[in-house]
Amino acid sequence: MTLQDALATQPAWVQVWVFWLVIGAFVLPLGLLIWRRTRIAGIATIAASVVAGMSVDWIFGQLGYVRLLGLPHIVFWSPVAIYLFLLQRDPGVPARAALLIRVILITITISLAFDVTDVLRYALGDRAPY
């Protein structure tokens, strides 16, 4: 079974969320490459998302579909979320870029809330597959 197969067994809202997560963490950050002031944020977000995705796939290959899959998101997206939060408040960032950053930041933050909960549950002994 692949990770995509495992995700297909989840409720519809989880599948919709994962679809949005791909948009919010991989596609929307490409828009940040438009403005000089936000290019580093775009590159950092895309890089963190790619590395987190590869890490999730690796953990899935080792352990299966378990709550620990959120750990790479916590490790790689937390610093990006802090950076994006600070950047969107910078008055030198164009308004459209700031709006895009906020959408990306909200997406990542919601994911991190799920991920922290899942990883804590895993650490407290909930090791059953989803």
pLDDT value, residue 130: 76
Distance CA 71, CA 16 (A): 21
Structure tokens at 89: 């408040």
CB atoms within 10 A of CB 60: 19
pTM value is 0.93
pLDDT tens, 25-64? 999 999 999 999 999 999 999 999 999 999 999 999 999 9
pLDDT tens, 65-97? 999 999 999 999 999 999 999 999 999 999 999
Mean pLDDT estimate for the chain? 96
